[in-house]
Amino acid sequence: MGDPYRRRKRPRPMIEQPKSQFRQLAEILRRRITDGEWRRGDRLPGEHDLAAQYGLSRHTVNQAVGLLRRDGLVRVERGKGAVVTVLPQQITRAAVARYQRPEREREQARGAFDAEIRRLGMAPHVEYRRVGRATPPAEVAALLGIDTGEQNALIRDRLMWADDVPVQIATTFIPWTIAEGTQLAEQDSGPGGIISRFAELGLAQTRVTERITVRTPSDEEGQFLELDPDQCVYQLVHTGWTADDQPVEVTVHTMPVALWRLDYEWPLD
Amino acid sequence: MGDPYRRRKRPRPMIEQPKSQFRQLAEILRRRITDGEWRRGDRLPGEHDLAAQYGLSRHTVNQAVGLLRRDGLVRVERGKGAVVTVLPQQITRAAVARYQRPEREREQARGAFDAEIRRLGMAPHVEYRRVGRATPPAEVAALLGIDTGEQNALIRDRLMWADDVPVQIATTFIPWTIAEGTQLAEQDSGPGGIISRFAELGLAQTRVTERITVRTPSDEEGQFLELDPDQCVYQLVHTGWTADDQPVEVTVHTMPVALWRLDYEWPLD
DNA sequence: CAGTGGTCTAGACCACCAC
DNA sequence: TGGTGGTCTAGACCACTGC
């Protein structure tokens, strides 16, 4: 069987692979953050200073900082500098639990997000950006089985924070033929969230699917989530189905990968 | 309520945001790939040529190519050049389906991966790198509820390809007290895979959890998966539990985010 | 050997921020 | 206005590939 790595590996040096200077510097800076020397909110020394201190050109330092930005450890604002942004812990999205027994205590929708954030000792905040009739993206229209390019969906678009950190964009689409004139189309979807409203309409969701991909954020997403353009986000597409396999809800969640981890759980027979 | 984006946006130019030259070039090159001008296996023009052609310095071109590498569209080998590596379609991992009815037709383990790859018209290949007694990482030991730093686990470490593309590393850990002397410790785990062996041992798995995170690959992982160091991978930690909530299996999957999408599905009550 | 990309420097100009 | 980072150029040296 052998060791397939061997094929591609050269005789390994005793101590360590020689690495480029900017990667070594990034390693040093990363350690100073994870070790707690620099904490959330602290400003890193200017690139000019770091360059002088380590005997590097500013360009090399800039590359090193770029690695930290990609990993979501620091955020840079023009004219100000690099600030440590890493959270003490990632937020956990327990996908299955958040949709269980919604009638019990508003665990659904806003309630589930609230719990996820409070678990970390942070304050959740949700702001509705838009609730109304709109044209869904083509992929969403296809999922919902409705025509493309028409104003045939209700959109519920919201932004979410943990303390002052923007952590998620969630956009729900519901066929307009279902949502029109119901509480689904109101900003406050009422007790139990939209899941309960669907049930009352005789369109109880009995099955849920989620598809996870990772991509780079759009300009708009990057702006709200305060992401460096090199950071990645989860795109999580959640679809709710009725007993006769009709899709009645599609929600697209956009979350920085640095901030979240996603949990799933199911029984085996 | 207003538009929260407005806070941070400046009056938008009519045509487009001014973008840096390397991002514009990356956009051009990306389009030439997605439009099919350059296909999988083709070599990009040299950076020197591109620089001359577009009137840029080689460094700027190098930055542009870096964006394509990060997105997994091209792979660069020293001394050779940049080769288009993007697959026609992402591989879909249907998490729940792959563990259902394992006794039916070897759908488990190797069987599920086989189906995932064949669905794309590619040829799956699995190679066992190591099967034997080993010391699990501390996080895995904690999950399994066994001591840290001891040779107290069976490791089943395998590499997976689609055609000639390395697509996944999967490493299974099972407490040695369970695996010792059973077919679990043999490379061929028998019909139905290890799930069936657990059932025969009176340790049938009744519940499964998975935790997804995204991180940069280790040197070793990047080497096998032929990843640029700037590309991200999913780390998917799969745990199997018995009816009395004993964890009997932990499998860590490492998959390039550019190649995979992850599907989940469950019923609502 | 020539051709590739990886990395680094020195220097420059710009946009943006805070004062 | 001075300090920050974003970006770009010109030029250089290196490691690696394949002939």
Q: How far is CA B88 from CA A77, A169, A212, B159, B166, in A?
A: 37, 29, 18, 22, 15
Q: How confident is the model at residue B103 (pLDDT cuts 50, 70, 90)?
A: very low
**Which has the closest alpha carbon to B85: B167, B168, B169, B165?**
B165
**Which has the closest alpha carbon to B192: B262, B111, B252, B250?**
B111
Surface of B (181-210) touching A: CB under 8 A: 195, 204-210
Cβ separation B129–A99 shorter than 8 A: no
The residues near A28 (Cβ < 8 Å, ≥ 6 apart) are none
Contact in structure between B212 and B253 (CB atoms under 8 Å): no
pLDDT of A106 reads 46
Burial of B160: CB neighbours in 10 Å, binned 0-12, 13-18, 19+ = buried
DSSP state letter for A7: G
- A147-169 pLDDT, tens digit per residue, is 999 999 999 999 999 998 999 99
**Dist. CA B212–CA B233, nearest whole Å:** 10
**Dist. CA B58–CA B56, nearest whole Å:** 6
More confident residue, B9 or A53: A53
Cβ separation B207–A4 shorter than 8 A: no
Contact in structure between A47 and A58 (CB atoms under 8 Å): yes
DSSP annotation string for A188-247 = S--TTHHHHHHHHTT--EEEEEEEEEEEPPPHHHHHHTT--TT--EEEEEEEEEETT--E
Average pLDDT, chain A: 88
- B57-80 pLDDT, tens digit per residue, is 999 999 999 999 999 999 998 889
* Of residues A8, A99, A224, nearest to B223 (C-beta): A8
Separation of CA A69 and C1' D2 in angstroms? 26
Angle at A252 between CA B33 and CA A207, to 5 degrees: 115
pLDDT of A229 reads 87
Chain D positions with any atom < 7 A from a protein CB: 2-12, 15-18
Å from A10 to nearest chain B CA?
11
- A179-200 pLDDT, tens digit per residue, is 999 999 998 888 888 998 999 9
Contact in structure between B25 and B65 (CB atoms under 8 Å): no
**Which has the closest alpha carbon to A5: B207, B159, B255?**
B159
Cβ separation A261–B220 shorter than 8 A: no
Is the pLDDT assigned to residue B6 strictly greater than 70? Answer: no
pLDDT of B111 reads 75
**Which has the closest alpha carbon to B251: B178, B143, B162?**
B143
- A21-72 pLDDT, tens digit per residue, is 999 999 999 999 999 899 999 999 999 999 999 999 999 999 999 999 999 9
pLDDT of A18 reads 66
Percent of chain B with pLDDT over 90: 71
Surface of B (79-98) touching A: CB under 8 A: 90, 95-96
Separation of CA B56 and C1' D11 in angstroms? 14
Q: Is the CB of B18 under 7 A from strand D?
A: no
Is the pLDDT assigned to residue B53 strictly greater than 50? Answer: yes
Q: Is the CB of A261 under 7 A from strand D?
A: no
- B213-239 pLDDT, tens digit per residue, is 999 999 889 989 999 889 999 999 999
Hey, which residues does A74 pair with through a beta bridge? A84
pLDDT of A252 reads 98
Range B50-63 average pLDDT: 94
Is the pLDDT assigned to residue A118 strictly greater than 50? Answer: yes
Is the pLDDT assigned to residue B32 strictly greater than 70? Answer: yes
Torsion B182-B187-B192-B195 (CA) sign? positive
Based on DSSP, count helices (H) and strands (E) in chain A, helices before strands: 9, 10
Q: How confident is the model at residue A19 (pLDDT cuts 50, 70, 90)?
A: confident
Which tokens sit at B52? 């001359």
Q: How far is CA A179 from CA A139, A153, A191, A253, in A?
A: 19, 8, 17, 20
H-run or E-run covering B24: helix B21-34
Helix axes B47-54, B58-70, angle to 10 degrees: 120
Separation of CA A72 and C1' D15 in angstroms? 31
**Dist. CA A265–CA B12, nearest whole Å:** 45
pLDDT of A101 reads 59
Looking at beta carbons, which residues of chain B come within 8 Å of A72? none
B214 and chain A in contact, CB less than 8 A: yes
Q: Is the CB of B80 under 7 A from strand D?
A: yes
Pairing of strands B91-94, B260-267: parallel
Burial of A147: CB neighbours in 10 Å, binned 0-12, 13-18, 19+ = exposed
Q: Which residue of B has its CA nearest to A232?
A: B232
Which residue gives the smallest C-alpha to C1' distance to D7?
Answer: B20
Cβ separation B268–A224 shorter than 8 A: no
Q: Is the CB of A59 under 7 A from strand D?
A: yes
A269 and chain B in contact, CB less than 8 A: yes
Buried-exposed string B104-135: b where 16+ CB fall within 10 A, e elsewhere: eebbbbbbbbbebbeebebebbeeebebeebb
Looking at beta carbons, which residues of chain A come within 8 Å of B204? 268
Which residue gives the smallest C-alpha to C1' distance to C10?
Answer: A57
Is the pLDDT assigned to residue B170 strictly greater than 70? Answer: yes
Angle at A59 between CA A53 and CA A60, to 5 degrees: 60
pLDDT of B7 reads 28
Cβ separation B207–A9 shorter than 8 A: no
pLDDT of B269 reads 77
Is the pLDDT assigned to residue A244 strictly greater than 60? Answer: yes
What pTM was estimated for this model as a whole? 0.88
Cβ separation A266–B261 shorter than 8 A: no
Neighbours of A220 (CB within 10 A): 12
Separation of CA A80 and C1' C13 in angstroms? 19
